[in-house]
Structure 1
Amino acid sequence: MAALDLEWIAVFDEVYKASSVTKAAERLGLTQGAASTALNRLRGFYGDPLFTRTSRGMLATPRADELQPVLRQIRESLEGTLTGTNGFDPSTSRRAFRICMTDLGETSLLPALLNTLQSSAPGVRIDAERIGSESRRRLEEGLVDLAVGYMPQLDAGFYQQSLVEQDFRCIAAASHPRLRRRLTDQMYSAERHIEVLTEGTGHTGVIQNAIRAEGIVRQVALQVPSFLAVAQIVSETDLLAMVPTHYALVTQRRESIKVYRLPFPSPRYVIKQHWHSRFHRDPANIWLRQTVAKLMPSTVRRESLTDRQTGK
């Protein structure tokens, strides 16, 4: 029987992540032909097609699903022996990292991260995906390196690091006809609002609980599934929106809006980064986490195991 080759395993791992031989080849710095050859040799080794072409890309077979965690561990162990514990060099690496984040992370973290990488790690690529119902599974299976944002559903089962505490502000159009320098309870209740119903984050619950606790009944004129277009909509209408403070300040530089303190105590939440134990000691992922942490103000540099991992 032929011996397993590290390149075959790496190609398998990247195809499993990306559902694409082409993307796997790009991430590994191989030609598509070389990646296809490696995958075919692994297919012959196991006597299984491993992946089949579908309209959604290369779909893993049951045998591939069974092999994935084993081959991922083998790849990490072998690459670790080749590079050493301190062998990751961001200045020369061509590694692709997949980060799961909220829509707020896309607007605030991604630009700063990409600007940092341009100078310190020009060959490193970031593949971003939106937090959703499959995010927990994808983190557990090693398909995602890191999750960043306010994601209380990930507090159990993963390593986590608190990055920064945030609160909320109210935004309105700079030319709003009725608002003055200070936002009062009466003004807030009298105006129409945008309500953001996010999936995969805890922002919706935090906002709704705070408003309910104050006994305020908002006049919701628009519901949207994310924060991405909220500032633009606010700038072109007379609607108000309660948004995280960092988002308000970032979008104020791009949109014609004013930022107001809420007329009631603002709820607070903590932005964290989460990762699976399989990546905890990986030099490349340690570097990625440190890079993300440095981009966040008032970083709390404390890592903790969750209840499930400690068995408490």
Structure 2
Amino acid sequence: MRYKRFDLNLAVVLDALLAEQSVTKAGQRLNVSQTTVSDALARLREHFGDELLTQVGKKMVPTALGASLAQPARSMLLQADAMLNTRPAFNPAAASRHFTLMLSDYVATVLISRFVPVLQAQAPGITLELLPHSQAPWESLNHGEVDFLIMPANFVHDSHPSSILFRDDFSCVVWDQHPFQGDTINMEQYLSMAHVVNRVGRNRAPTFDEWFFKNYGHARKVEMMAMDFNSVPQFVVGTQRVGTMHTHLARYYAQYLPVRLLTPTFELPVLEEALQWHRFNDNDPAMLWMRELLAATARDAISSAA
């Protein structure tokens, strides 16, 4: 298929080459031979009058023009995907579709664990893939690698639509045999205790509560750094340490672990978890249905946990 004498199939190859920066990997991604990719690259170079990618050591590096084409090529294919997924209506009971969500283990525990059985009952042909947050989740959304991001609202980008899924606040958790007396904790007591915290990602990016305390000038005595949100209550058990957690997650673990919740008497921010999707999929009936079902599940989950 040609558009203004340009073979549109070449756009698919260009996108793969710029993403993989390798003829071999682009061929594997497209399930075609290296020869096919090399021939397509030669035609692309002829059309644009530029090398587009040049060999540097074992890697192909985009030229200035090649780099400038990466986003337009990706956007064109995403728009094509959105068009091809368009249907006059969406029938969840008969649908066959795969969705990829990027989210934290906290959201997976308090929301998606409740969403999965509802989804299977209403749309048994829909499959899910859950991915942890990357260092740049917005890039994954921009490139069409994920269908939905679920993350704190203050981290979403305004280049794509989003909506608030649910709100949560923070509680402290201690071992149920901790000598601390009472059900509340003030700032002085809090800062005097040893803490279990968690950091997210390879670069140890601070979580929301870490960000808050750092920005408001309070330093905590951190004795243990956990790998994820779900680990925090497990690592206060049998110790004199305290953890700061999302309240819904803390209540969830209080059902299964020997921990108890303490309510901070000092002000902590309310956390808003937002759902974000690519702007090209804003009118996709299946995406709209998924958004509504996620929102309804969040309302039910939060009201039942209150």
- TM-score, with length taken from structure 1: 0.67
1:200-237, Cα deviation, whole Å (9 max, x unpaired): 7533222445684xxxx643322345423111101232
In structure 2, do the counterparts of structure 1 residues 292 and 277 end up closer, same or farther at CA, with 3 Å as the change threshold? same
Q: Does 1:125 align with 2:131?
A: no
Task: In structure 1, give the amino acid aligned to 2:133.
Answer: R
Partner residue, 2:208? 202
Are 2:99 and 2:147, in contact at CA under 8 Å, matched by a contact in 1? no
Displacement after TM superposition at 1:242 (Å): 1.3
> Which of the pair has more CA radius of gyration?
2
Give the share of equivalent positions with the same residue, in percent: 19
Give 2:184's aligned residue: 183
In structure 2, the CA distance between the partners of 1:103 and 1:65, relative to structure 1 (3 Å rule), is: farther
Aligned partner letter, 1:95: H
Trace 1:1-312 onto structure 2 (pairs within 5 A).
35-36=31-32, 46=44, 69-70=71-72, 72-78=74-80, 84-90=86-92, 91-97=94-100, 99-119=101-121, 120-132=123-135, 134-176=136-178, 178-185=179-186, 187-198=189-200, 199=205, 201-209=207-215, 212=218, 218-224=220-226, 226-297=228-299
| Equivalent residue letter for 1:283 | P
1:273 maps to a residue whose letter is L
- Contact persistence 2:197–2:232 (CA under 8 A): no
2:229 aligned partner, one-letter code: F
| C-alpha distance in structure 2 between counterparts of 1:210 and 1:18, whole Å | 42
CA contact 2:103–2:130 (8 Å) conserved in 1: no
Secondary structure of the equivalent of 2:119? helix
Gaps of 5+ in 2: 46-50, 302-306
What is the alpha-carbon root mean square deviation over aligned residues? 4.4
| Distance verdict in 2 for CA 1:278–1:200, change over 3 Å | farther
Q: Is the 8 A contact 1:101 1:129 kept in 2?
A: yes
Against the structure 1 CA distance between its residues 188 and 67, is the aligned structure 2 distance closer, same or farther, given a 3 Å change threshold?
A: closer
Per-residue deviation, 1:77: 4.9
Contact 1:117–1:124, Cα closer than 8 Å, also in 2: no
In 2, Cα distance between equivalents of 1:196 and 1:260: 19
* Alpha-carbon spacing, 1:18–1:45, altered in 2? closer, same or farther (3 Å): closer
Shift of 1:135: 1.8
Runs of 5+ consecutive residues of structure 1 not aligned to the other structure: 25-31, 300-312
1:152 alignment partner AA = N
| Structure 1 residue identity aligned to 2:263 | R
Q: Is the 8 A contact 1:152 1:201 kept in 2?
A: no
- Give the structure 2 partner of residue 306 of structure 1: none
Structure 2 CA distance for aligned equivalents of residues 200 and 192 of structure 1: 18
Matched AA of 2:114: A
Deviations 1:84-113 (A, max 9, x none): 44454444313242x222342233333233
Amino acid at match of 1:179: F
Would the alpha carbon gap of residues 228 and 184 (structure 1) be closer, same or farther in structure 2, given more than 3 Å must change? Answer: closer
Kept after mapping to 2: 8 A contact 1:131/1:201: no
TM-score between both structures, scaled by the size of structure 2: 0.68
Counterpart contact for 2:175–2:258, Cα < 8 Å: yes
